[in-house]
Structure 1
Amino acid sequence: MPYFERSGVRLFYAEYPPATHPGPPLNLLLVHGLWGAAEGWIHQIPALRTNYRTVVVDLRGHGRSSTPPSGYDLGDHAEDLAALIRHADLAPVVLLAHSMGCSVSTVLAARHPDLVQALALVDPDYAGDPSEREWMTRLADDLEGPNADQIAQDLISDRFHTPATPEHLRTWHLLEVLTRPAWLRAQTFRHSAFGPSSLRFRPQAEPVLRQRRQPVLAFHRHPARAEVERLCLPHGHSRIVQHPHAGHFIHQEQPDEINHTLMQWLAALPR
């Protein structure tokens, strides 16, 4: 499996060539969310690689990529991906992203529109209610405290899972979060929520969302965020699909439904 180095940061990525070539080539880059890794897309990779060149990446500080002491602003992640897209000759690429990866992908699409053909976004973490700022500030502080492991696991259980979340996914997510050192979890969370490029709250997110010119397919479980997305959609091929009863990991809880919608949308994507 290949690695790519940028400014001393070593990024892991894995490439899956298409099994068939039904038409013009389409390159996909799959971007995980906060505290995740490339294997979070295990339900999507087999479906996507049947027709498309599919690449998965571990963001800096996650998975098999290196863990520098700094550089965790969303803009840093976006520039990492821009360099990887050029290195791997993926442009223009379709970004399939989850959670924080949706914010990273949106920053990338706004900054480097020539590199991005379209975006498919699963439960984006952007454009949240500003009234949550105080709660998230306390959470960021707690993630730096002595009970950081339990705080991180409680966040996953309380905010990301629902009663319908399968038990094997609950177990996976609660174990996965502990594979990241506490200082890294704290730093990545604080930057995603409050960093210079953060899109976590609507006032900061909306101007950047409106900068996107690419088609967007967005899977939302929060109606308020879905409405912000609708107001900012830039392209006629864009679409919002709501999953109000799903957990945060919609693509893992409902893989068949997500894959079906995604494959239909990709097949009709303007070339």
Structure 2
Amino acid sequence: MPYFEHSGVRLFYADYPPASSARPPLNLLLVHGMWGAAEGWIYQIPALRSHHRTVAVDLRGHGRSGSPPTGYDVGDHAEDLAALIRHAGLAPVVVLAHSMGCSVATVLAARHPDLVRALVMIDPDYAGDPGDREWMARLADDLEGPDADQIAQDLFSDRFHTPGTPGHLRTWHLLEVLSRPAWVRAQTFRHSAFGPGSLRFLPQAEPVLRRRRQPVLAFHRHAARAQVERMCLSHDYSQVVLRPQAGHFIHQELAADVNDSLMRWLSALPR
């Protein structure tokens, strides 16, 4: 699997050529969420690569990529992706993203519209309630404290999982949290919530979301977030899918549903 360097950081990506050449393939870039890695897309990669070139990246500080002491703002991640797209010859690419990856992909699409053909957003972290600032600031502090491992795992259990989340996914996610150094988890969270490029809260997110001119397919579990998404869409081919029964990892909990919707949407994507 290949690596490339950008701004002094060694970044990992897995590159899967299309298995079939029956129709012209799309180039797809899969971007995980906070504290995740490329393997978070294991339920999508086999289906996607059957027809399309599929690339899954580890963001800086995650997975097999390097962990520099700085550079964890959403905008830094977006520039890493822009460099990868150019390096791997993916433009114009369809970006599939989860959680924090959706903010990164949105900033990428707004800054570099020539590089992005379309966006698929899975339970985005952007455009949240500004009233959550206070508890998120406390959480950012706690993630830098002595109980950081437990605090991080509790965040997943309390906020990201539901009673219906399968046990094997719960176990995977809680173990994955511990595979990231505590300082990387803390930097990533603080920058995603409060960094200069953050889209976590609605006032900062809305103008950037409205700058996206690409088609967007968005999967949401919260009706209020889904409505914000609808109001910010500009392309006629865009679609919002609401899945309130799922937890944060919609693409893993409802893999067959997500894959079917995704493959249909991609098959008719304006070229």
For 1:239-258, list aligned pairs within 5 A.
Answer: 239-258=239-258
Name the SS of the counterpart of 2:11 in structure 1.
Answer: strand
What is the CA–CA distance in structure 1 between the aligned matches of 2:25 and 2:17, rounded to whole Å? 11
Name the SS of the counterpart of 2:85 in structure 1.
Answer: helix
For 1:54-203, list aligned pairs within 5 A.
Answer: 54-203=54-203
User: Structure 1 residue 245: deviation in Å?
Assistant: 1.6
- Deviation string for 1:162-220 (max 9, x for gaps)? 00000000000000000001111000000000000000000000000000000000000
Aligned to 2:29: 29
**TM-score normalised over the length of structure 1:** 0.99
**TM-score normalised over the length of structure 2:** 0.99
What is the CA–CA distance in structure 2 between the aligned matches of 1:183 and 1:14, rounded to whole Å? 26
User: Structure 1 residue 234: deviation in Å?
Assistant: 1.1
Name the SS of the counterpart of 2:168 in structure 1.
Answer: helix
What is the CA–CA distance in structure 2 between the aligned matches of 1:24 and 1:148, rounded to whole Å? 47
User: Structure 1 residue 34: deviation in Å?
Assistant: 0.0
What is the CA–CA distance in structure 2 between the aligned matches of 1:175 and 1:25, rounded to whole Å? 35
For 1:219-258, list aligned pairs within 5 A.
Answer: 219-258=219-258
User: Structure 1 residue 27: deviation in Å?
Assistant: 0.1
What is the CA–CA distance in structure 1 between the aligned matches of 2:75 and 2:137, rounded to whole Å? 21
Aligned to 1:210: 210
Name the SS of the counterpart of 1:96 in structure 2.
Answer: strand
Runs (4+) of structure 1 exceeding 4 A deviation are none
User: Structure 1 residue 25: deviation in Å?
Assistant: 2.5
What is the CA–CA distance in structure 2 between the aligned matches of 1:201 and 1:100, rounded to whole Å? 12
- Deviation string for 1:108-140 (max 9, x for gaps)? 000000000000010000000000000100000
User: Structure 1 residue 7: deviation in Å?
Assistant: 1.4
Aligned to 2:259: 259
Name the SS of the counterpart of 2:240 in structure 1.
Answer: strand
User: Structure 1 residue 8: deviation in Å?
Assistant: 0.8
How many residue pairs get aligned? The number is 271
Name the SS of the counterpart of 2:107 in structure 1.
Answer: helix
Q: Which runs of 5+ in 2 are unaligned?
A: none
What is the one-letter code of the residue matched to 1:109?
A: A
Name the SS of the counterpart of 2:54 in structure 1.
Answer: strand
Name the SS of the counterpart of 2:28 in structure 1.
Answer: strand
What is the one-letter code of the residue matched to 1:15?
A: D
Q: Which runs of 5+ in 1 are unaligned?
A: none
CA RMSD of aligned residues (A): 0.5
What is the CA–CA distance in structure 1 between the aligned matches of 2:129 and 2:223, rounded to whole Å? 12
Identity of aligned residues (%): 80
Name the SS of the counterpart of 2:204 in structure 1.
Answer: helix
Aligned to 1:268: 268
Aligned to 1:2: 2
